[in-house]
Chains A and B, each alone.
Chain A
Amino acid sequence: MIKLKNIWKEYKIDKDNTFTALKKIELTIQKREFTAIIGSSGSGKSTLMHIIGLLDRPSQGEVSIHDKNTSSLDDSEISKLRNEYVGFVFQQFHLINNLTVFENIILPARYSRKKLEYDPKEKAFELLHRFGLTDKKMYYPNKLSGGEQQRVAIARALIMNPELLLADEPTGNLDSKNGEIILDILKELNKKDNLTVIVVTHDKTVSNRARRSIQLKDGQILSN
């Protein structure tokens, strides 16, 4: 489903120095896989996730989705793919604080140029119900607990019925109990909803729950 070929990512630090975040990454992720990308901080795992999720572009190499090379796509085509194909869950939740829970969840549908086969409002209500947030739908995110915020973020990631769910340290800002709940949800989405899930983490207890784990060190894949 996703194929990364010879991916390099370099950042310019100043005029003469560049920092290489990713080196020669080769990676294939199949549909319905539950994959963990593990590595210490600075290993390039977040950068890798951003590239897989089309938030960032590699300095070199090819990202293919369903055998389609994405490097020639322009901003609006990439944004469209990101909108329809990927759902993101971040460590800091990244909800918009001046939108209500409901408005946050439905936001991706507002940017969609595709005629949806379902009513996004109904879908949003369904997701609110599924994650136990129905009473909180008119709340603003800063009035919610971390666990609740992360569930809102997951609901937002699911509103467009994506194929791929990308979670960057999804439990990093949560206590272990709430962390467990989130991991259970991710597991369920993979099993029941047939989503492809990639979790980026430094936490072994998280990666242990994945079927496959990819270890990253200094921008290179150590083990796969």
Chain B
Amino acid sequence: MNYFNFILQSAYDDLRRNKIRTFLTSLGILIGVAAVVLILAFGLGLKVFITSQFQGLGTNLIFVLPGRVLSQGGGGFRPGAGTLGGIRFDEKDVLSLKRIEEIEYVVPYSVKTVQVQSKGKSEIADIRGTTEDDSVINNAEMDQGVFFARKDVEKKSKIAVLGQTIAEKLFESSELGLGKTIRVENHRLKVIGILKKKGDLSHNADSSIFIPYTSAFVFNQDKKFFDIHIQLRDYKEIEKVKEKIKQTLLKRYKEDDFSVIEQTEILDTIGSILNAVSLLLVALGAISLIVGGVGIMNIMYVSVTERRKEIGIRRAVGATSQDILWHFLVESVLLSLFGGLIGLGLAFIIVFFIQKFFPAYIDLNSIMLALGVSSLIGIVFGVFPAKKAADLSPIDAIRYE
């Protein structure tokens, strides 16, 4: 048996001899590690969930928004929020943006929150005036019926496409809605299509009513748009195109009046918010780890006192103070690592069951973090008791009864 095995074996034997004490002592680390790993798993799951929700929004999109948002000094991006300050866009802007050759689609949106009525029912919804291209850039999938076409925009047709949620609210079930008429501020609109559910992050699409922007001017008499979504032919040119869009709009507006941002920036912002929240929760979980570490330190001190005579005997037969230090340090690391491993196992089990309701993932980083942190706690909180054991004078230790 080499030296390392010997030390490891001794520590393991001591822990095994006191099974209940070992388990209770490692409980703090167990709970702490399980908590931290679970928080990370939920954070990761939430991120994956949000990202997948955003993917339903369409890809390769650039958003032109009023006011200053994101890194330009605003208070963060709020999809679907009211006016952020600054200007409102009009048809002239849409036309000039369409002239940029790298751009494939320019889709303007007017937004108004209105009272919608169908037979005896009344609901609040966002009415969005847009073009037929909305269905293309947002990968709209129809549950029933069709999306409106270019000719509907040209003819200012009094028709509407409903999001899944608002359709369910207005009619007993969404299937009953197709072909019915809804009333918005004394205007009647015929329902020609109902969208599949998209998820609540895609600009609140499920609770919105989409109509041709030309028809929406009756609710929106200044004929202005809230924002414009742009899709490129080739995503690689995004930086260049963003600059061209800015230059185009700067001919009419001041720099502070609008923002040109891309989808990844929104994802980054949400990601960083999630990270901050996760960090806070992990810090709370870490308190349990510290408490657990103190528990280990406490038990290790007791153990050093209890085994004073044994330490003395080991010293008498030739153990150096370094050897004794290793004995106790390895023991506390094993103790802590044991708690960490069980905690990790517990987290895996919980995640396994929770995955049926909510996405949660344990990645390699969480595993490494859990094991690394528990080893570190074993070292940090074990070193003082171990040092105490190592510093005992052999003769005082062996005389101890």
Contact = CB atoms under 8 A, between A and B. Distances in A.
Interface string A106-127: 0110111100000000000000
With a 10 A CB-CB cut-off, give which of B318, B322, B323 has the most chain A CB atoms.
Answer: B318
A79 B320 contact: yes
Interface string B4-31: 0010000001100100000000000000
A223 interface: no
A110 B6 contact: yes
Nearest to B13: A98
B323 A111 contact: yes
A175 interface: no
A53 B322 CA distance: 20
Give the contact-size bracket for chain A: 20 to 34
B313 interface: yes
Contacts of B309: 94
Nearest to A94: B313
A83 B17 contact: no
B317 A108 contact: yes
Nearest to B6: A110
A110 B1 contact: yes
Contacts of A56: 393-395
Contacts of A151: none
A108 B13 contact: no
Contacts of B315: 55, 79
Interface residues of B, number: 24
A103 to B, nearest CB: 9
Contacts of A108: 317-318
B357 interface: no
B316 A107 contact: no
B310 interface: yes
Contacts of A24: none
B395 A107 contact: no
A88 interface: yes
A76 B320 contact: yes
Contacts of A94: 309, 312-313, 316, 398
Given A94-B313, A96-B310, A111-B323, A50 B318 contact: no
Contacts of B320: 75-76, 79-80, 111
Interface string A70-85: 0000011001101110
Contact of B316 (A76, A82, A84, A112): A82
A176 B383 CA distance: 47
Given A56-B395, A75-B321, A76-B322, A107 B314 contact: yes
Interface string A168-194: 000000000000000000000000000
A95 interface: yes
B13 A107 contact: no
Contacts of A90: 398
Contacts of A55: 315-316, 394-395, 398
A45 interface: no
Contacts of B284: none
A202 interface: no
B317 A156 contact: yes
Given A110-B1, A111-B323, A88 B395 contact: no
B318 A79 contact: yes
B353 interface: no
Contacts of A107: 314, 317
A95 B313 contact: yes
A83 B320 CA distance: 9
Q: Which 5 A-B pairs have the closest CB atoms?
A: A83-B318, A79-B320, A108-B317, A76-B320, A111-B318
15 contacts: A50-B395, A55-B315, A55-B394, A76-B322, A79-B318, A79-B319, A79-B323, A83-B318, A83-B319, A84-B318, A88-B316, A94-B309, A110-B3, A110-B6, A111-B319
Given A76-B321, A83-B317, A98-B17, 8 more contacts: A55-B395, A79-B318, A79-B323, A82-B316, A82-B318, A83-B318, A107-B317, A110-B1
Interface of B: 1, 3, 6, 13-14, 17, 309-310, 312-323, 393-395, 398
